[in-house]
Amino acid sequence: MLRRIALSTILAGLLGGCTEPNPFLPLCGNGHVEAGEECDNGAGNGETDCSDLCTFRGCGDGVLQPEEECDLGAQNVDDGACTSTCRLASCGDGLVHAGVEGCDEGAANKDAGDGDGGCSKVCQPLSTCGDGLVEDGETCDDGNREDGDGCPSTCLYPFCGNGVVEDGETCDDGNKADDDPCPSTCKPAVCGDAFVHQGVEECDDGNDANDDACLTACLKARCGDGVVQTGVEECDDGNDDPEDGCNNECVRDRLVFVTDEPMTPNKFGSLFAADSVCRLTAKNFGHPNFESFRAWLSDDEESPATRFVHAQGRYVLVTGEVVAESWDDLTDGELAHGIDRTIAGALHFEKAVWTGTQASGEATVDSVDCESWTSIAPQDLGRQGVSGYTDAIWTDFDSVFCAVEAFLYCFEQ
């Protein structure tokens, strides 16, 4: 019995029944570094710098750690899929992945070939101009990097934009930009070539017209440049005096006058015929814009409000007095000066004038217009104004019998 107990005690000691580590049985994970172990953090193995195998964790141990992209152990090589730094091979890492990449110069990889070789962004070798082989990106390669021998130093057949000044070119800056000193024609930029040279020209429409949006000096047309822009400006006298016939918005003055002789409505008979009276009067006086004149007259269909230009410039008499600063000023019920002059300058003050029109430029209520200016019947009436007045009376004073005579107001459009 004593022998049996002693044997069990001995076995318990050999098998680690005591609290101290057994030097004969290393146990990874017991928290004690023993023979054959590099480390042992006990329960922390695999989560600290010590692996579950009681070896220090690191690239090349064949165990994929959180900070590693790959780890093939002894198979980690710089020309393989997993590099010696436990990173997956990729184009641009500066390492050539055998069988996958033809080259890899890291940050020096080029976006496109320039004839000087090198490595592309997809890690393939770029052609070298001058090696005698016509490769990708080249149209010729005569084995040298000389210009003037049919195949220039760019290994591209001569063309405008290759950076080499060749026959027929006077410049070549190596680009196709049309806003620099050498546009895509490979001729130096000049005003009139239809290319806008940035910082030098405001515009360039390539023509010699001086009345459009771009002047022949390659400056954008603007009010005050002394050139009338067709369809945009009515005048342009090149100064900032708004009272010389052309204001600072490049709108001209418009002439207003009273006709020379009075007449009954049947003598003109319609708005169009009344316009003709105004135009003939202006023509006989020699006015250059005589065809634009219209009579200040309304019927039951049209009125100055609908058929006149609503000008932003002044309305003036031939003597220079300003009747109104604009259409809005003309039709606000008060004139700056009464219309009391003929086109020749004769004074016509307090003369009856056929109008059929309110101060607003609209036809009078119920169109009191002598049956559209055709009747002189005793029972028919027509609305008149009085020349020379500045309030609404100038156009809307009274209704009178159509058999009487009166003048007309004429307005340049």
Least confident stretch, 232-246, 258-272, 395-409 = 232-246
- How far apart CA 296 and CA 143 sit, in angstroms, is 86
Domains of the chain: 29-57 (no CATH), 69-126 (no CATH), 254-411 (3.10.100.10)
Tens digit of pLDDT for each residue in 203-251?
Answer: 999 999 999 999 999 999 999 999 999 989 999 999 989 889 999 999 9
- DSSP at 406: B
pLDDT tens-digit profile of 267-323? 999 999 999 999 999 999 999 999 999 999 999 999 999 999 999 999 999 999 999
Mean pLDDT (whole number) for 169-192: 94
Residues 6+ apart with CB under 8 A from 42: 29, 30, 31
Computed over every residue of the chain, the mean pLDDT equals 89
pLDDT digits (tens, 9 = 90+) for 32-50: 888 888 887 888 777 777 8
Q: For 383, what's the count of Cα atoms within 13 Å in the CB-facing half-sphere?
A: 25
| CA separation for the pair 121, 103 (Å, rounded) | 10
Q: Supply the pTM of this predicted model.
A: 0.57
- Residue whose pair of structure tokens reads 């000096």 in the numeric block: 217
